[in-house]
């Protein structure tokens, strides 16, 4: 879906910021583990570290940011990318892929989730694209990065926008539960009609090109933890489906 890809310099800034923020988070976990008897609650700060570094690395590449509130206390960071005289909204989220149940696979569309209002931004441009997307037998659950976000999502709080955007992207990153390395980073757009995340570009190749390398020594402070025990992900109701361009699926299957 080349027409929706971001400039490579912007994608690289987002990937670099994600990796740098993760490294910063791991260093903080190391310090707290050394100085405190109990420090597991610092797992909640991972998203803050990553958003912080994406905002700092991205500022030289037309990536602006602002803090938005949903409800009374839940704050989250919105990034704005300016290209082609248009503004695009981007949020960065930890994610995991889980297999759909048989009942979920039979559903034609997913129920509305807490990002549905933002997904509306993409309705017209995705409706008019000529690309064919193939829905995958899995769903994407996004990390709820602090207790107030968990509460807001459970209460059905919707995220809204305070300015006009032409597109809405979600950059998802996945952390391997065994190695604790960031194993993939993907640029996606949520489709309001299907409630799928549609893959725009797999940015994982930029992990290898980045100057910010996560090592086994870096992840040592959290090696004994299970990601699933330290992270709360959205429930099935608030998950997205997942779809990839037809040519991408053929490439992965070797056809």
With a CB cutoff of 8 Å and minimum separation 6, the contacts of 74 are 146, 148, 149, 151, 152, 157
Write the pLDDT tens digit of every residue in 83-128: 888 999 999 999 988 876 545 544 545 556 778 888 999 999 998 8
What was the pLDDT predicted at 250?
57
Tally Cβ neighbours within 10 Å of residue 73. 12
Write the pLDDT tens digit of every residue in 131-160: 788 989 888 988 887 777 777 777 777 776
Write the pLDDT tens digit of every residue in 3-56: 899 999 999 999 999 999 999 999 999 999 899 888 777 888 899 999 999 999
* DSSP letter assigned to residue 193: T
Angstrom distance (rounded) from CA 108 to CA 114: 19
């Amino acid at each position: 879906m080349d027409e929706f890809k971001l400039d490579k310099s912007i994608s690289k800034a987002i990937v670099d910021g994600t990796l740098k923020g993760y490294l910063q988070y791991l260093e903080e976990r190391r310090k707290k583990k050394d100085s405190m008897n109990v420090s597991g609650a610092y797992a909640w700060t991972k998203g803050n570290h990553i958003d912080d570094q994406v905002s700092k690395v991205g500022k030289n590449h037309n990536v602006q940011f602002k803090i938005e509130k949903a409800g009374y206390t839940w704050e989250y960071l919105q990034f704005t990318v300016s290209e082609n005289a248009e503004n695009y909204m981007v949020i960065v989220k930890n994610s995991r892929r889980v297999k759909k149940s048989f009942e979920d696979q039979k559903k034609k569309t997913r129920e509305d989730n807490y990002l549905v209002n933002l997904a509306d931004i993409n309705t017209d441009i995705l409706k008019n694209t000529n690309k064919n997307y193939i829905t995958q037998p899995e769903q994407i659950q996004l990390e709820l990065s602090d207790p107030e976000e968990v509460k807001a999502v459970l209460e059905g709080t919707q995220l809204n926008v305070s300015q006009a955007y032409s597109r809405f992207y979600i950059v998802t990153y996945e952390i391997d539960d065994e190695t604790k390395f960031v194993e993939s980073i993907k640029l996606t757009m949520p489709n309001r009609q299907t409630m799928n995340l549609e893959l725009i570009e797999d940015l994982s190749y930029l992990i290898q090109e980045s100057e910010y390398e996560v090592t086994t020594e870096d992840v040592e402070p959290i090696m004994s933890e299970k990601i699933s025990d330290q992270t709360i992900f959205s429930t099935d109701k608030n998950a997205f489906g997942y779809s990839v361009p037809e040519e991408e699926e053929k490439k992965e299957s070797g056809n």
